[in-house]
Amino acid sequence: MRLIKRSGIVLVTIFILVGIMLTAFSACEKAPDKTATPAISLGAQTEASEWTVKANDEVKNQFDFADREEFEDAQRGFIATVPDLVIKNADGGIAWSMPDFDFEKQTETPLTVNPLLWRHSQLNLNNGLYKVTDRIYQVRGFDITNMTIVEGDSQIIIIDVGMSAETAKAMLDLYYRERGVKPVAAIIYTHSHIDHFAGIKGIISDEDAQSGRVQVIAPEGFLDYAISENILAGNAMSRRAQYQFGIYLPRNAGGMVDSGGSKALPVGTMALIGPNKEIKATGEKLVIDGVEMEFQIVSGTEAPAAMTIYFPQLRALDTAEIASQSNHNLLTPRGAEVRDGNAWAKAINEMIELYGDKTDVIFASQEWPCWGNEKIVSYLKQQRDLYKYTHDQTLRLLNHGYTPNEISEMIKLPESLARGWDVRDYYGTLSFNVRAVYQKYLGFYDGNPANLNPLPPVEASKKYVEYMGGPQAVIDRAKVDYANGDYRWVAQVMNQVVFAYPDNQEARNLEADAMEQLAYQAESTVWRNCYLVGASELRTGMSKSIGAGSVSPDMVRGITLPQYFDLMGSRLNGPKAEGKKIVINWNFTDTGDKYVLNLENSALTYTSGRLSSTADATLNLSRATLISVLAGETSFPKEILAGKVTIEGDALKIIDLMGMMDSFDPMFNIISP
């Protein structure tokens, strides 16, 4: 081994290398605080204005709020719960708290909440163990995701495990308390989103899956998507999720009231155990402990890897999240790959064709079930047509030449859909989904050459405000518009002032006031949360004590080597790499994997399956060592000194390359420059 010839700088080289290699991967950077939930102040909140009261009163007059059928469905099959449910996490903090939402038990809708959202939030208050049908039970309201438990002849099958180990364990403990303890035969992940798999270690261990003692079943491609979504864009996605889910907002009638599919995100221990069996095609069947299951692959709809499950013996259908009690997101505000509304509609249509006349109950990963064949088919048709209408009408209007913001203002659901409780905008919104369809087909550019190369936000804002007569003139005019209830415009124009003059607190406060009124009127809990978090950061600034962390150290173990090198490429600071050419061999001694990492033209590429004879340096290490370092279980200094990591050739080239990697601030600005 030749670590480096100049022995006087060996230790310096090692420790510099260690520091910069660790910045090349920060999936474990500063996870959210686990000791408390609300951690930001909304400042001097406004009351609901006369315009907000009027808007919300109009909603009350448009719908029959005396209709209680959904409330009966949400409570049907109730067996038991844990009174005043509070689940602690591993740090002794609160992972989940239902008493936080006791304020929603009041009958009268607060002036500061859209009546439709208030109704949906009250439906999501239901929590506990429920019987869905013979052999099928759900624990709801203990996590953002429901846990479904199917009883076999002597064991149980668990579908979706929630987002944290603590909440998953609490859900299973409640089932055991009421139904008796039975061994777990299988875990099924319906799709690749973190709230459906990250609670796994509250149920089973790595060894349970590796030994085959417990089957872990998922749709094909699950593992790649489960990891990549939380890594490559994980830092930005996690920060934006603070807005979407209102994670740190206070729970009250002026703050966070719901998350859409359930009450909130749990704050606990996240993990990942990969599947030991993949479902690859629609129609594939399994029998586990006497329970027959047939799968439908619906990947590319709500998630890039997803499936539904039909139980022929029980005439029951698990729709995962492609049919639930609200409009869903074709593009989630936290950020993700845009989803295909047409494929989504086709998947539900296929579901109707396959199972529509053979199903007496459907249930999902969120919210509550639906019973009765006629009602089920009608429900699925509404869900299908919601996404098909959104998709097709957007295409129709974009082909007339309308732009995304124009189309989102033009499209309204037909009365036959708009009156349905289960297709309302509690989570996703028609407005946002229209723009998602446009993005899928035409991208973000609206076709107007004036928008080909616009000035960036700060520079453009300074020009706008200058043209308008300066910040005070804009503020004075905006106050008049605010008094007239034109909150969308006030938020938009004050945003220009804030980006031009970020320290102008009067502008910040006025924008915050407008956003707050928009929040009070929002039917979507996601929009409400986004507006309220924005208002908070405008008034009181951004809390640096909150971490945005994207994945837990345990989840890092699932990263593939190509994903690691892709992540390195996404962190390379191109300008720093200008004019440099570096070739590094990565030799993984335990797996036999070999990679050549090539820096050229300020781009980082890699080739697998060989080593280069002309590389500047070669890193010899095991994949297990790399993963242990990334998971925080050890460090490169320890492993180098132990001889588990060796370097041949010019170690300074490795240092040079790693020094070009950016590290990301998990709390970057959103509402201000």
CB 308 within 8 A of CB 297: no
Other CB atoms within 10 Å distance of the CB of residue 608: 12
d(CA 613, CA 363): 58
> Could you tell me where in the chain the CATH 3.30.1050.10 domains are found?
7-27+559-658
Q: How many residues does the chain have?
A: 673
Range(s) for CATH 3.60.15.30 in the chain? Answer: 50-388
Nearest CA to 146 out of 123, 130, 122, 166 is that of: 130
Mean pLDDT of 205-227: 95
Summarize the confidence of residues 413-424 as an average pLDDT. Answer: 95
Tell me the C-alpha distance between 97 and 162, whole Å.
15
> pLDDT of 432-472, one tens digit each?
999 999 999 999 999 999 999 999 999 999 999 999 999 99
> At residue 308, does pLDDT exceed 80?
yes
Q: Is the pLDDT of residue 28 over 60?
A: no
Q: Facing residues of 572 across strands?
A: 661
CATH architecture of 7-27+559-658: 2-Layer Sandwich (3.30)
More confident residue, 17 or 42: 42
430: which 2 tokens?
């028609």
pLDDT > 80? residue 386: yes
- The pLDDT tens digits of the residues spanning 548-567 come to 555 677 777 778 899 899 98
Query: Are residues 529 and 245 in contact, defined by beta-carbon separation less than 8 angstroms?
Result: yes
Which token pair is 617? Answer: 């340096």
Where on the phi/psi map is residue 261: left (φ > 0), alpha (ψ -120 to 50), or beta? alpha
What is the pLDDT, as a whole number, of residue 551? 62
pLDDT at 548: 53
CATH class for the region spanning 50-388: alpha beta
E strand segments, 345-455: 361-363, 370-371
Report the pLDDT value the prediction gives residue 19, as an integer from 0 to 100: 46
d(CA 444, CA 157): 43
Neighbours of 239 (CB within 10 A): 24
Residue with the larger pLDDT of the pair 663 and 600? 600
| Radius of gyration of the chain from its Cα atoms, rounded to whole angstroms | 26
**3 state DSSP class of 394:** helix
Mean pLDDT confidence for 593-611:
97
Q: What is the DSSP letter of 449?
A: G
List of residues 6+ apart from 221 with CB closer than 8 A: 192, 278, 299, 304, 305
With a CB cutoff of 8 Å and minimum separation 6, the contacts of 305 are: 191, 192, 218, 219, 220, 221, 222, 224, 225, 226, 299
Q: Which structure tokens are listed for 425? A: 């905008």
* Band of pLDDT at residue 91, cut at 50, 70 and 90: confident
Contact 594, 609 (CB under 8 A): yes
Sign for the CA dihedral angle at 555, 557, 560, 566 comes to: positive
At 224, list the tokens: 């790649």
**Phi/psi at 165 (5° precision):** -60, -35
Confidence band of 37 (pLDDT split at 50, 70, 90): low
Alpha helices in 139-215 (DSSP H): 165-179, 206-210
Interatomic CA distance for residues 40 and 38, integer angstroms: 6
For 499-512, what is each residue's pLDDT tens digit?
A: 999 999 999 999 99
The residue assigned the tokens 């004019």 is 579
Phi, psi for 563 (deg, rounded to 5): -65, -35
Cα separation of 121 and 106, whole Å?
Answer: 12
Query: What is the Cα–Cα distance from 470 to 463, expressed in whole angstroms?
Result: 9
**How much is the average pLDDT of 321-333?**
94
Residues 6+ apart with CB under 8 A from 279: 217, 218, 219, 220, 295, 297, 307
334 close to 241: Cβ distance less than 8 angstroms: yes
Contacts of residues 455-458 at CB distance under 8 Å and 24 or more positions apart, as own/partner, are 457/499, 457/673, 458/499, 458/500, 458/673
pLDDT surpasses 90 at 36: no
> Which pLDDT score is estimated for 420?
93
DSSP 451: G
3-12, 479-488, 521-530: least confidently modelled range = 3-12
Measured at the alpha carbon of residue 325, what is the angle toward residues 319 and 331, in degrees to the nearest 5? Answer: 80
**Predicted confidence (pLDDT) at residue 31 exceeds the cutoff of 60:** no
Higher-scoring residue by pLDDT: 666, 299: 299
Q: How far apart are the C-alpha atoms of 101 and 272, rounded to whole Å?
A: 30
DSSP string across 133-158? ETTEEEEESSSSS-EEEEE-SSSEEE
User: CA-to-CA distance for 290 and 150, rounded, in angstroms?
Assistant: 11
For the ranges 21-25, 273-277, 625-629, which has the lowest average pLDDT? 21-25
Q: Answer whether residue 403 shows pLDDT above 90.
A: yes
Sign of CA dihedral 188, 192, 198, 199: negative
Rounded to the nearest angstrom, the gap between the alpha carbon of residue 182 and the centroid of all alpha carbons in its chain is 32
pLDDT for residue 592? 96
* 467 and 497 Cβ atoms separated by less than 8 Å: no
Residue 413: predicted pLDDT: 96
Q: Band the pLDDT of 632: cuts 50, 70, 90.
A: confident
- Which residues lie across from 441 on neighbouring strands? none
pLDDT of 590 reads 94
- pLDDT at position 348: 98
Q: Are 549 and 238 in contact (CB under 8 A)?
A: yes
Q: Report pLDDT for 27.
A: 43
Band of pLDDT at residue 23, cut at 50, 70 and 90: very low
Distance CA 612, CA 573 (A): 24
Q: d(Cα 374, Cα 64) in Å, to the nearest integer?
A: 22
Q: Does the pLDDT value for residue 210 go beyond 70?
A: yes
pLDDT (average), residues 581-599: 96
For 21-37, what is the mean pLDDT? Answer: 46
Question: Which three-class secondary structure string do you get for 285-333?
Answer: EEEECCEEEEEEECCCCCCCCEEEEEECCCCEEECCCCCCCCCCCCCCC
Token pair listed for 620: 């010899």
The predicted-structure confidence for 9-19, as pLDDT tens digits, reads as follows 444 444 444 44
Give dist(CA 499, CA 671) in Å, integer: 9
Whether residue 481 contacts residue 490, with contact meaning beta carbons closer than 8 Å, is answered with yes
* CA 219 – CA 233 distance, rounded (Å): 22
Q: Give the Å distances, CA to CA, from 99 to 249, 255, 266.
A: 15, 15, 14
CA-based nearest residue to 236, from 94, 165, 332: 332
Amino acid at 555: M
Determine the pLDDT at residue 30.
Answer: 43
* Burial letters 331-344, b for 16+ CB under 10 A, else e: bbbbbbebbbbbbb
